[in-house]
Amino acid sequence: MRILIIEDDQDLCRFIALTLEQSGYATDICHTGNDGLFYAQNHPYDAIILDRMLPGLDGLFVLSSLRRQGIRTPVILATALDGLHDRVNGLDAGADDYLVKPFAVEELMARIRAVTRRPGNLQISPSITALGLTLTPGSRRLDFGDMSLTLSKKEAALLEFFLKNPGQTLPRPRILSYVWGLSSEVEDGNLDNYIYFLRRRLKSLDAPVKLTTVHGIGYRLEEKGQ
């Protein structure tokens, strides 16, 4: 599960990111509204933590822009503005929750769990099922029929992205950003290595699916015979 943190307080941003990563989440961070809007528009996230008062574009503008574009990623507004009018404006702009600073990290974690398990957020369900495969991201367990195995962290993140988009050709940059993060300086060849590892895992389960290479673009998870 990957979460975008848009927060101009860099110390707070790093603290939130570290806390989330220790709890098993992957994170991307940015410190301006302009960067936050770009990240959210161009990369898939399971949730967004959004500061209200940001350099450049205001948090409410970022939020309303995403909703106008049909991006329904759950958003938690985290802000020092705690007036009733502020809360109403934030929720009306499309926020899924509103958290007032300063907040306890335990409360933030609870809010994240709440917004990501609401109906309609299929991508964040405890398990993901597609093409006969079932992946439980928390335990990294992959099941097919009566067989199961445990994936590595990167293998699980990679397969999670494919299972959320079965039959779709996923470009290499989108895969890299989802699995390794926008700020990671991962070598392009690492993706090919993990595709190889994942293919071997699927073969060991005798699953009737294949990871197809789409030359010049990326990869696609699909049923065999297609």
| Shared domain check, 111 and 184 | no
Specify whether 111 is located in the same domain as 48. Answer: yes
Indicate whether this model's pTM tops 0.85: no
Give residue 41's domain range: 2-123
Domain boundary among 123, 140, 168: 123
**Looking at 97, 123, 149, which one is the last position of a domain?**
123
State pLDDT tens for residues 74-101. Answer: 999 988 877 777 778 888 888 888 888 8
Query: Is the alpha carbon torsion for 88, 93, 97, 99 positive or negative?
Result: negative
Q: What are 124-137's pLDDT values in tens digits?
A: 446 888 999 999 87
Judge if 132 and 98 occupy the same domain: no
User: Which range has the worst mean pLDDT, 4-18, 52-66, 110-124?
Assistant: 110-124
Looking at the fold, whether 84 and 167 belong to one and the same domain comes out as: no
Q: Pick the range with the lowest mean pLDDT from 41-55, 116-130, 177-191.
A: 116-130
CB atoms within 10 A of CB 105: 12
Max mean pLDDT among 52-56, 84-88, 92-96, 197-201 falls in 197-201
Do 57 and 148 sit in the same domain of this protein? Answer: no
Q: Is the pLDDT of residue 226 over 80?
A: no
H or E element at residue 35: helix 33-42
Residues 22 and 71 in one domain: yes
3-state helix, strand, coil in the chain (%, to 5): 40, 25, 35
Q: Is the pLDDT of residue 105 over 70?
A: yes
47: Cα within 13 Å, side-chain hemisphere? 25
Identify whether residues 140 and 42 lie together within a single domain. no
Same domain, 142 and 100: no
pLDDT for residue 122 is more than 60? no
Provide the domain count of the chain.
2
The answer to whether the CB of 158 falls within 8 A of the CB of 149 is no
